[in-house]
Amino acid sequence: MTFDFDSEMNRLGTHSVKWEFLFDKGRPQYGDHADPKHGRNRILPLWVADMDFCSPPAVVEALVARAQHGIFGYTAPADSYYEAVIGWMARRYGRTVERDWLVLTPGVVPAINMLVETFISPGEKVLVQRPVYYPFFSAVENNGGEIVSNSLVYADGRYTMNFDDLAQKAADPAVKMAILCSPHNPVGRVWSREELTRFGEICLANDVMVISDEIHCDLIHSGHTFTSFGSISDEFAENSIVCTAPSKTFNLAGLKTSNLVIPREDWRKPYLKTLMRHGLMGTNAFGVVATETAYNEGEAWLTAVMAYIEENYRFMVDYLAEHLPQLKVVPTEGTYLVWVDCRALRLDPAARKELIMGKAKLYLDEGEMFGAEGEGFERFNIACPRHILAEALERLREVISGQ
Ligand SMILES: Cc1ncc(COP(=O)(O)O)c(C=O)c1O
């Protein structure tokens, strides 16, 4: 079966955050300036992490059938739902997960917030690895925790973990939790088994619980292998809570359905209590249908979309090498996000924003959002038809060479 990723879908009128709510000066604005009628003046949004592609046809059909039923009452996942999730994890990552370990939560970001709320007392510390997905910061800070960064090291165009620093910081008795981003947003690393093992051993030795956010785990580029943290050993499984979702994989973020793997009963129970305290025991009626169908029938689509994203990636790398060699692409191993070192432009964040957003009308995620370690970088979301990516890069070339 072939899938069409080249045609542009008009997302206006769908309440799309990416296309219609273009955050400017910290305020969401409803963006009629994103109207395709504005032609080359329209804003191209390559920021928030969803795809401009339709979900797998089987998922769309299952949702249409569900919608046509016409009754959208309270919903709980049936056996078939759990079988689909467990089957996917076993097939794709060789992880054996028991049904009781799975806890549904309406999104990974809400999950991380509630995990911090559940397990961190005021004044306790949580390790993150900046530059990293910025909602980790608010999840910790909004729930009484203190952030400690075991910042990644960027050398020779590649990011690695700093294990000496990790060992030193994890030894602080106030550090109780580490949030791992695996694969890593924004730097695009797919952590190797060896790296994860060193990370996990340091956390185990210091009694630090690991929250492994694996939401990007299905978006792996050729030549790289994803290892799920909990699949490495029983001790790692017991010392971790793995957060997964079909939302990045199959472009279902708006359906707010994610699955946490919590093998330890003494961690599951308090987390369930937190969910209960927030009244979050129900499930999105469309989310369960989409998740089950995607995991059962979406694999061919996923292979095709990843091939397209990898071609987009090669297109971008070649384009920048030829036309804007001062911008350095950090090699992407996983995710559809590309982290670009723009420091050679020698522009402060405000001037860069004016050039990219103001002049090129291109919405990216500025590196500074991911922590001070991201200063001078930009994150591009390349999960879009190639002609949009080409137009975005062309605009960038125009404004940079016209400076
Ligand atoms: C690492 C990471 N975690 C979580 C999320 C969002 O999760 P959710 O939409 O399930 O809350 C994203 C979205 O970009 C992400 O990159």
CB atoms within 10 A of CB 189: 26
Q: How much distance in Å is there from the Cα of 185 to the middle of ligand 1?
A: 9
Ligand 1 centroid distance, CA of 114 (Å): 14
Angle ∠(21,275,67) on CA atoms, nearest 5: 55
Kindly state the DSSP code that residue 360 receives in the 8-state scheme: T
d(CA 338, CA 332): 6
Counting atoms of ligand 1 from 1, which one is nearest the CA of 49?
14
For residues 335 and 183, is the Cβ–Cβ distance under 8 A?
Answer: yes
Alpha-carbon gap, residue 234 to 98, rounded angstroms: 13
Q: Which residues of the chain have pLDDT under 50?
A: 25, 27-28, 30-35, 37
**Residue from 16, 18, 48, 109 to probe ligand 1 pocket by mutation (most atoms less than 8 Å from CB):** 109
Rounded distance between C-alpha atoms, residue 222 and residue 207, angstroms: 35
Handedness of CA 277, 281, 286, 287 (dihedral sign): positive
What ligand 1 atom has the least distance to the C-alpha of 109?
A: 11
Per residue in 379-401, pLDDT tens?
999 999 999 999 999 999 999 99
Helix/strand/coil (H/E/C) assignment for every residue in 225-239? CCCCHHHCCHHHHHC
Domain borders along the chain are 17-56+299-401, 71-297
Q: How many CB atoms lie within 10 A of CB 224?
A: 16
Find out whether 281 and 275 touch, Cβ atoms under 8 Å: yes
User: How many angstroms is it from 155 CA to the middle of ligand 1?
Assistant: 27
Whose CA is closest to atom 14 on ligand 1? 49
Kindly give the residue spans of alpha helices, DSSP state H, lying in 179-277: 193-205, 234-238, 265-277
Measured CA to CA, the distance from residue 59 to residue 63 in angstroms comes to 6
Beta bridge partners of 340: 329, 378
68-94: string of b/e by CB count within 10 Å (b at 16+)? eeeeeeebebeeebbebbbebbeebbe
Distance 109 CA to ligand 1 centre (A): 6
Q: What DSSP string describes 4-32?
A: --SSPP--TTTT-HHHHB--BTTB--B-G
**What is the dotted CATH code of the domain comprising 71-297?**
3.40.640.10
* CA–CA separation, 363 and 110 (whole Å): 25
**Tokens describing residue 360:** 């090129």
Q: Could you tell me which of 224, 390, 248 has the C-alpha nearest to residue 305? A: 248
For residue 111, the ligand 1 atom closest to its alpha carbon is 11
* Residue type (1 letter), 106: P
**How far lies 32's CA from each of 15, 85, 145, 321, in Å?**
12, 39, 39, 34
Amino acid of residue 195: E
CA–CA separation, 215 vs 376, rounded Å? Answer: 26
Q: Ligand 1 site: residues with CB under 6 angstroms?
A: 49, 107-109, 133, 181, 185, 213, 215, 245, 247, 253, 258
Bridge partners of 339, per DSSP, are: 379
Mutate to test the pocket of ligand 1, among 248, 250, 335 (most ligand atoms within 8 A of CB): 248
Q: Which helix (H) or strand (E) holds 290?
A: helix 285-297
Q: Which atom of ligand 1 is nearest to the CA of 256?
A: 10
- Ligand 1 centroid to 69 CA: how many Å? 30
Distance separating alpha carbons of residues 341 and 251, to the nearest angstrom: 27
Domain 17-56+299-401: give its CATH superfamily.
Aspartate Aminotransferase, domain 1 (3.90.1150.10)
Dist. CA 70 → ligand 1 center (Å): 30
Tell me how far the alpha carbon of residue 110 lies from the centroid of ligand 1, in angstroms: 9
